[in-house]
Amino acid sequence: MAELNRADGDHVDEGDDEAEVERSETEHLENVEDGCGCTEIWEHLSDQRAED
């Protein structure tokens, strides 16, 4: 089975469930409200990075 690399550097096996892969690619935006704009998303991501 071939391994693929996602943009964040994690390895994904071809056999992984597509929904699981998609969820892991968007989980960093879970606390962002629907309909917010680029500025709100940027602020949210910036705050998350500051906490790490």
> What is the DSSP secondary-structure string of 1-52?
--EEE-TTS-EEETTS-HHHHHHHHHGGGTTSPTT--HHHHHHHHHHHHHH-
pLDDT in tens, the chain (52 residues): 445 555 666 665 555 677 777 778 888 788 888 888 999 888 988 988 898 7
Judge whether 12 and 21 are in contact, CB under 8 Å.
yes
This prediction has a pTM of 0.44
pLDDT at 18: 79
Judge whether 42 and 27 are in contact, CB under 8 Å.
no
Q: Enter the tokens of residue 39.
A: 């500025």
Judge whether 32 and 24 are in contact, CB under 8 Å.
no
pLDDT at 15: 57
